[in-house]
Amino acid sequence: MRNTEQPKTYRVKSFGCQMNVYDGERMGELLSEQGITAAPEGEDADLVVLNTCHIREKAAEKVYSDIGRLTKGKTQKKAPMIAVAGCVAQAEGEEIMARSPSVSMVVGPQAYHRLPEMIAGAVSGKRMTDTDMPADAKFAALPQRKKSAPSAFLTIQEGCDKFCTYCVVPYTRGAEISRPYAALVDEAKMLVDGGAREITLLGQNVSAWSGEDDKGRAIGMAGLIRAIAAIPDVARIRYMTSHPADMDEDLISAHGEVSKLMPFLHLPVQSGNDRILKAMNRSHSAESYLKLLERFRAARPDLALSGDFIVGFPGETDAEFEDTLKIVDAVGYAQAYSFKYSPRPGTPAATMDDQVPMDVMDERLQRLQASLRRDQQAFNDASIGKTCEVLVERKGKLEGQWLGKSPWLQSVHFTADVAIGDVVKAELIQAGQNSLGARVLENVNA
């Protein structure tokens, strides 16, 4: 029942965070180099790579239903060769192999550069597993970057040493590693040569990145941002995700000095209550988080803020949850992600007493999301009348319509005579919950 034919086409389906999107692109490039081409939209692929996420239970369970659908011919006419990659592969590789006989390969996030050998093994009928974790070896073994969308991801740092008590990432991605400075500047140049105008630097703890220049001098995140800003065709730089513990003065100043660094910061707080933050093993308090934001806003007054929240961490009382609503009110996020706590196997919080009942979590999440929606709408409303640059990223649904992003990471739609990759000057004229309408004033490229 396992497909062992040499694949000619592939499809990578990525779930979870942006780093999985980056990994998915790189797997695609690697497969293309092997002569396996991307299956056209809507057509069957000979090889399907499920690039999975383990962060919450629902995300992790999805892989088994996807495997079932692929095997039973529900997703495409013919069952493909199946590879499971990403964080579920890392965390549950053996279980996947035992539960799903149709899976040919299990490949962890630090081992996917070995896909070509694994495919060769799968074609000869073997089942292949590689969940080794030599994070840096992967990048050196991957092919050069060639083509890029206008907005490109660049992984600069991977793994996490923070061990928040609810989180699987330190186990699925391994210890924090920083990719070398020179390799990153080179990759940024390749992306720009391939069409990128905006580069988003990625890491599970992106601001923990550290490196050395060619003279052996220490460089931090701000130094890397300045080096990438010096590449002439880079129009915009972003980074995510940061932990409050790693934000240094140099990075804060860069927000005030580097015009290509966009006025947007994704800085998860998780909870507004200090007892819960301590139980989560977050190293900040509600107050230290707010003080940090004040410093960023002093450097860049129009900074848009984004965050992540967990409701219903074990033991969270109603009053402790109210503190999360209070910090939301105090910050005024431009956008944010919020989740019900999901117990993950092997993490300390999963076995803590006082797990919060689902109906309580549901109610808290609804209240939190109502506040977050209110603030997002207010942020978007306050954008009306502003003139800003928009990077054109793709066509919209309507005839002649284009979609792009504002400096504050809002989706912007407009009708104009432009091309993908153009930077246009636009006036924001209409605000919805999740996007803005604009009138293009000038094509900055033309």
Q: Which residues bind ligand F3S (CB under 6 A)?
A: 16-17, 19-20, 53-55, 86-87, 168-169, 172-173, 204
Q: Please, which residues bridge with residue 10 across strands?
A: 38, 47
348 binds ligand SF4 (CB under 6 A): no
361 CB neighbour count, 10 Å cutoff? 21
- Least Å from the CB of residue 421 to ligand F3S: 28
269 binds ligand SF4 (CB under 6 A): no
279 binds ligand SF4 (CB under 6 A): no
- Tell me the CA end-to-end span of the chain in Å, nearest whole number: 56
Interface with ligand SAH in residues 281-320 (CB under 6 A): 308, 310
Q: 398-414 in b/e burial notation, b at 16+ Cβ within 10 A?
A: eeeebbbbbbbbbbbbb
- Least Å from the CB of residue 168 to ligand F3S: 6
102 CB neighbour count, 10 Å cutoff? 16
405 binds ligand SF4 (CB under 6 A): no
Calculate the alpha carbon distances from 340 to 46, 55, 162, 198, 361 in Å.
37, 12, 21, 32, 6
127 CB neighbour count, 10 Å cutoff? 14
Do 416 and 432 touch, CB atoms closer than 8 A?
A: no
Identity of the residue, 118 or 310, whose beta carbon is nearer to ligand SAH in the bound complex: 310
40 CB neighbour count, 10 Å cutoff? 10
> How many residues of this chain bind ligand SF4 (CB under 6 A)?
10
Interface with ligand SF4 in residues 167-226 (CB under 6 A): 167, 169-170, 204-205
339 binds, among ligand SF4, ligand SAH, ligand F3S, none (CB under 5 to 8 A by kind): ligand SAH
167 binds ligand SAH (CB under 6 A): yes
Interface with ligand SF4 in residues 134-173 (CB under 6 A): 160, 162-164, 167, 169-170
Packing angle, helices 57-71 and 86-99, rounded to 10: 50
Binding residues for ligand SAH (CB under 6 A):
55-56, 166-167, 169, 204-205, 241, 243, 268, 270, 308, 310, 339, 341-342, 344
Binding residues for ligand SF4 (CB under 6 A):
160, 162-164, 167, 169-170, 204-205, 243
